[in-house]
Amino acid sequence: MEGEREGEDKCFFAAADTRTAPATEYVDVAVTKHTSDADARVFFEAASGRSGTEKLSGLGDAAIFTRDGDNGRVLVLKGRTSVLVAITSKVQADPRGALQQLAQAVLAKI
């Protein structure tokens, strides 16, 4: 599957049936190389402090899952790299498992 590139570190994937209208079902993937491990850790800790955040195990050095309405996000820290995979979906009841698999696939490529 090919995504639409957004900037230097982000891709956007929309559901095939929503390409002619404003997308309501889509996935974002962002891979960011921070200037140092410390900068990456500060970025990760800031995101980890939000309410409703759950720690995940088995992904990178640290990982979290956040759910907010129709949005789900997994943020992974691996060295000085952060990987964010996010979904906006009204039909995906529990996106955590799918987001974890997608994050694992992205991590395998970096």
pLDDT truncated to tens, each residue of the chain (110 aa)? 444 444 456 665 666 555 556 656 788 888 999 999 999 999 999 999 888 899 999 999 999 999 888 789 999 999 999 999 998 887 777 789 889 999 999 999 98
The two three-digit tokens of residue 93, written as one number: 């009841």
Nearest CA-CA partner of 65 in 48, 53, 57: 53
Q: Which CATH superfamily is domain 4-109 in?
A: Mog1/PsbP, alpha/beta/alpha sandwich (3.40.1000.10)
Ordered by start, the domain boundaries in the chain are 4-109
Establish how many alpha carbons lie within 13 A of residue 100's alpha carbon, considering only the half-sphere containing its beta carbon: 15
